Structure 1
Amino acid sequence: MRYKHVFFDLDHTLWDFETNAVATLQELYAEHALQERGIPSFEQFYASYAVINDKLWDRFRKGFINRNELRLKRFSLTFLDFKICDDQLCERLGARFIEVLPTKTALFPHTMDVLNYLREKQYPLHLITNGFEETQRLKMKHSGIEHYFTHIVTSETAGSLKPHREIFDYALQLSGCSASDSIMIGDTPDVDILGAREAGIDQVYFAPLGALSGIQSTYTIQSLHELKTIL
């Protein structure tokens, strides 16, 4: 086999973050009666939240904000779009989001089938994620995939975020493998693909909605099932 170790991203690659986040936010919208607070519909609430959350995660990856600011500001800034200011409610929403989200179990199609296939072929499987340690482990536990992975490397344990090389080097050292016999599967070009490439690791760009133009990766797939043709 060309590759001896397989590294996966978690969110948007195996664990369907968008589906699970929407379900969580729908619960919070109803639970806290946000329509009565001046947010006309869940669809408007989510549209605003999604844009703000993406921008804040980009700032978090670049080291401009910490995780507590991320958790609070994604709700406080969303509320400002609707001319609402309520720091206590934002704090409650931030805490509840972290409680509820990891209990959701939606995975991308073929996730279990591919993980079973790779385990049967005796590939050591590992995870590299920018998510928070406790949250990511709970996601994996509730969705039934935690036991597939030998090492789970989060940005908290590594002290570094993708795409920085340090987190990939940390994962390689922890797993006892080299870049040349490893492969990384992820969905974000400037985080998973660029980071792995800079660390000397071959990459699989998972693009279920179609690949962005100009992205250079070792392989590109639209379905996890296609990994069977590579590994």
Structure 2
Amino acid sequence: MPLDVDAICFDLDDTLCVYERTVEDLLALSFERAAVEPFFDGPTYRTYFDRFLEDFDDADALRTHCFEAIAADQGRDPALGREVAREYAAARDQSNVQPRSGVPEVVRRLGERYPIALVTNGDASMQGAKLEGVGLSDAFDVTVFAGEDAAPKPSAEPFEHALVELGVRADRTVHVGNSLESDVAGATAAGLQSVWTPAEHDLPADVQAAERLDPDHPEIEPRPDVVLSGVDALADELGIEH
């Protein structure tokens, strides 16, 4: 049965856009520029990122803390982590992004049918550069920069802020995002329906593609209402004909 909603909220990072340079590419460059022997990889960074996400409003501060913690947990000087984090921040170009498949066409198409909001963790300067980079700076009726306008996801606050601005009910709104920890958990806490659009590295080990993933899979927690391979599949899920 298609989703039945009156409004749609979207996450930004890894949902609507991805960086041209991967985390792995940036880590390799950062270790090289810091003249530090590599001591962790992308999956390790993501694990620590998810662990400390709720403790920080600022992305650079969160990243620095993650790198320091990784170093400390390995018995290394946390200063090594700080140095790598400085090089990482210097190398990261927030406008150097590309849209995920079907974006921005699907977003604009859905925006003609529904009120739409962006609910993203990150400040307006950083996230605004990404929106410019993928041509979506004027696409949303409401934009909430969580951590700046409200508490960061997975708090319910940024979703509640978007609902008030859109003038819609939580149970008649769906949030689309790639993170179980921030998007699905936060949307559920605020009473919204949720669509999970996982990146490949987020999938359970026994699943090769999101379109073959059941929301009731035992490794998915919290559980979304729907799992899709990407935003490009959302129109079909909403019953909108091409």
* TM-score normalised by the chain length of structure 1: 0.76
Structure whose residues are more often helix by fraction: 1
* Distance in 2 of aligned mates of 1:87 and 1:27: 14
Instruction: Work out which of the residue numbers 69, 93, 109 in structure 2 matches 1:101.
Output: 93
Q: Secondary structure at the match of 1:117?
A: helix
Q: Which residue is equivalent to 2:16?
A: 14
Q: Per the alignment, do residues 152 and 191 of structure 1 end up closer, same or farther by CA in structure 2, a change over 3 Å counting? A: same
* Distance in 1 of aligned mates of 2:83 and 2:152: 30
Residue-by-residue CA offset, 1:155-198 (whole Å, 9 max, x unaligned)? 22333122222221111112222213211111122321232123
For the 8 Å contact 1:114–1:224, the answer to whether it is kept is yes
Q: Which residue is equivalent to 1:142?
A: 133
Residue-by-residue CA offset, 1:202-230 (whole Å, 9 max, x unaligned)? 11121353347234322221132221112
Q: Per the alignment, do residues 219 and 103 of structure 1 end up closer, same or farther by CA in structure 2, a change over 3 Å counting? A: same
For the 8 Å contact 1:130–1:154, the answer to whether it is kept is yes
Residue-by-residue CA offset, 1:130-161 (whole Å, 9 max, x unaligned)? 22332111111122222211221122233312
Q: Which residue is equivalent to 1:226?
A: 233
Unaligned runs of 5+ in 1: none
Q: Secondary structure at the match of 2:98?
A: coil
Q: Number of aligned pairs?
A: 217
Q: Is residue 55 from structure 1 mapped to residue 48 from structure 2 by the alignment?
A: yes
**Letter aligned with residue 4 of structure 1:** D
| Offset of residue 103 of structure 1 | 2.0
Q: Is residue 113 from structure 1 mapped to residue 105 from structure 2 by the alignment?
A: yes
Q: Is residue 72 from structure 1 mapped to residue 79 from structure 2 by the alignment?
A: no
For the 8 Å contact 1:182–1:201, the answer to whether it is kept is yes
1:153-164 equivalences under 5 Å are: 153-164=144-155
Q: Per the alignment, do residues 82 and 198 of structure 1 end up closer, same or farther by CA in structure 2, a change over 3 Å counting? A: closer
| Offset of residue 70 of structure 1 | 1.9
For the 8 Å contact 1:21–1:101, the answer to whether it is kept is no
Q: Per the alignment, do residues 143 and 23 of structure 1 end up closer, same or farther by CA in structure 2, a change over 3 Å counting? A: farther
Residue-by-residue CA offset, 1:20-41 (whole Å, 9 max, x unaligned)? 44454455456x2x5xx242xx
For the 8 Å contact 1:20–1:104, the answer to whether it is kept is no
Q: Secondary structure at the match of 2:143?
A: strand
For the 8 Å contact 1:48–1:78, the answer to whether it is kept is no
* Distance in 2 of aligned mates of 1:20 and 1:5: 32
For the 8 Å contact 2:95–2:133, the answer to whether it is kept is yes
| Offset of residue 4 of structure 1 | 2.5
* Distance in 2 of aligned mates of 1:159 and 1:136: 15
**Which sits farther off after the overlay, 13-22 or 187-196?**
13-22
Instruction: Work out which of the residue numbers 208, 224, 229 in structure 2 matches 1:217.
Output: 224
For the 8 Å contact 1:53–1:74, the answer to whether it is kept is no
Percent of aligned pairs with the same amino acid: 21
For the 8 Å contact 1:75–1:93, the answer to whether it is kept is no
Q: Secondary structure at the match of 1:158?
A: coil
Q: Which residue is equivalent to 1:152?
A: 143
**Letter aligned with residue 103 of structure 2:** T
| Offset of residue 50 of structure 1 | 4.4
For the 8 Å contact 2:160–2:190, the answer to whether it is kept is yes
Q: Which residue is equivalent to 1:201?
A: 192
